[in-house]
Chain A
C-alpha cells in the first residue's frame, strides 16, 4: 500500500525555506465499541507508541484502563500521561485492506493544541515494512510476518 505524503503550508524558515512541510501520513480507521473515527495520522518512526487523543477514545466508546497509566516524554523531556485502550485499526488503499486488534495509547493533555495522532512502533509500525521515499513523497507499507492473523 502506497500513501502520498500530505503537504502543509507553514511559515518559511532557514530549514524549510519553501514554507511547505511534507508529512508521511496514513488514513486509519480507529474502531471502538460505539463507533469508528477516521484519522489521518503521522507515521512516526521516532515514537515508541501509537497515540491518539483521549477525546477520540470517548467518542468511539473505548474503555481506558487507568490502572496502567504510563508516562512518556517527547523531545525536550516534557512528560505526558498515556492511558492504554484496546481498538481495532484498519488501513485501506488500492483495494487492499489491513485490519487488526491493537492496544494503543490515548494521550490526555491540558491544552487542546497538544493533541496528536501518531502511528508509532507499538501497535502499528511493528506490523509493517515501511519505505519512506522523500523524492516522490510516498510511503509504502507492506505487512510483515508479525502482522496479526485474522480472527
Chain B
C-alpha cells in the first residue's frame, strides 16, 4: 500500500496569481513574489534556503490547459 504525502494547507486567495514559496515540509508559505525568482529570493531572505516554489492560480481567471 503506497503512502501518501501530507496535505498542504489551503493556499489563501491573497496569493492568487503569484509564485509562492513553501518551507520544505510544505506546511507554511514563507514568501511569495511576482516571478519565480522573486519568490525564491524572498524565501531565502526569510531564512528558507531551499524553498518549494509553486505558481498559485489566478483568483478570477481559470486555467484551461498547457502548451500543445
Contact = CB atoms under 8 A, between A and B. Distances in A.
Interface in B48-68: 50-60, 62-68
A117 B40 CA distance: 15
Interface in A54-88: 55-56, 59, 72-76, 80, 82
A23 B60 CA distance: 16
Which of B52, B54, B56, B62 is packed against the most chain A CB atoms within 10 Å? B54
Interface residues of A, number: 58
B37 interface: yes
A11 interface: yes
Given A2-B5, A27-B52, A59-B40, A72 B16 contact: no
Given A74-B68, A82-B67, A11 B60 contact: yes
Interface in B1-53: 2-8, 10-13, 16-17, 19, 22, 26, 34-37, 40, 50-53
Given A53-B35, A112-B34, 10 more contacts: A4-B7, A7-B7, A7-B8, A23-B57, A37-B53, A47-B67, A56-B36, A94-B5, A107-B67, A116-B66
Interface of B: 2-8, 10-13, 16-17, 19, 22, 26, 34-37, 40, 50-60, 62-68
Interface of A: 1-4, 6-11, 13, 15-16, 19-21, 23, 25, 27, 36-42, 44, 46-49, 51, 53, 55-56, 59, 72-76, 80, 82, 93-95, 105, 107, 112-113, 115-118, 120, 137-138, 140
